[in-house]
């Protein structure tokens, strides 16, 4: 019988669900002049969240660290193969295929807003707007693959991965648990995002 263990710290969970909200917000408001300011604020927040995630990937808790889930392409292919042929390989933190998707989402979450910013400031011709839109579509496709991975992984391992990203808890070996949840940092993040919104809506 496996224990219920803490896997995702508070900052990782707050990062994730703010990202979901802002990604949805930036898509819903895209293409509308009326909601451009909200679009821009959501985009800035995504950028800030990704900068945070880069730092947290270096200095965060065990399963949030890049070193714990970034693996070569062979490991990602091996994991997908294990899902298709069984038995599905199990990871307490992110699996190697998920790791690739996360790395790419971080990259897109940084460069899509940069091209949005260039477009917003009208520094170049149409190409920046076109690149911004293409990157946004690539990001959306990746999110679709991410959701597919979450559903397939949840079914294969009979565990609700989305619920774990909410509660922080999974079933696993006690030796894999993280000792601290870093709630104070999540609070700092929420205040930081609030200030970013206040600033971006008023400039």
Residues at the site binding ligand HEM, with contacts judged by CB under 6 A:
12, 15-16, 19-20, 23, 26-27, 30-31, 39-40, 43-44, 46, 53, 64, 94, 98, 102, 105, 109, 112-113, 116-117, 119-120, 129, 132-133, 136, 139, 143, 146-147, 150, 161-162, 165
Q: How far apart are CA 163 and CA 168, in angstroms?
A: 8
Mark 127-164 as b/e (b = at least 16 C-beta within 10 Å).
ebbebbbebbeebeebbeebeebbebbeebbeeebeeb
Backbone torsions φ then ψ of 8, nearest 5 degrees: -105, 120
Which lies closer to ligand HEM via its Cβ, residue 121 or residue 175? Answer: 121
Find the shortest distance in angstroms from Cβ 25 to ligand HEM.
Answer: 9
2 CB contacts (<8 Å, ≥6 apart)? 171, 172, 173
Question: Which tokens sit at 62?
Answer: 């065990």
Find the shortest distance in angstroms from Cβ 188 to ligand HEM.
Answer: 16
Find the shortest distance in angstroms from Cβ 175 to ligand HEM.
Answer: 18
Which single residue is written with the structure tokens 């899509």? 112
Which lies closer to ligand HEM via its Cβ, residue 76 or residue 119? Answer: 119
Find the shortest distance in angstroms from Cβ 45 to ligand HEM.
Answer: 9
Q: Both ends of the chain: CA-CA distance in Å?
A: 55
Find the shortest distance in angstroms from Cβ 98 to ligand HEM.
Answer: 4
Which lies closer to ligand HEM via its Cβ, residue 100 or residue 139? Answer: 139
Asked if 136 and 30 count as a contact pair (C-beta separation under 8 A), the reply is yes
């Amino acid at each position: 019988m496996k224990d219920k263990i803490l896997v995702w710290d508070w900052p990782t969970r707050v990062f994730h669900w703010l990202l979901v909200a802002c990604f949805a917000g930036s898509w819903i408001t895209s293409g509308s002049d009326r909601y451009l300011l909200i679009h821009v604020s959501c985009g800035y927040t995504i950028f800030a969240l990704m900068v945070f995630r880069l730092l947290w990937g270096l200095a965060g808790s065990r399963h949030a660290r890049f070193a714990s889930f970034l693996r070569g392409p062979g490991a990602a292919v091996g994991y997908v193969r294990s899902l298709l042929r069984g038995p599905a390989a199990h990871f307490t933190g992110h699996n190697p295929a998920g790791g690739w998707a996360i790395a790419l989402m971080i990259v897109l979450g940084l460069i899509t807003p940069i091209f949005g910013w260039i477009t917003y400031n009208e520094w170049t011709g149409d190409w920046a707007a076109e690149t911004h839109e293409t990157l946004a579509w690539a990001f959306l496709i990746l999110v679709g693959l991410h959701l597919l991975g979450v559903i397939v992984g949840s079914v294969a391992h009979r565990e609700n991965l989305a619920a774990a990203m909410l509660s922080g808890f999974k079933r696993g070996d006690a030796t894999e648990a993280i000792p601290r949840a870093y709630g104070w940092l999540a609070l700092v993040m929420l205040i930081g995002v609030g200030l970013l919104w206040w600033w971006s809506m008023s400039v």
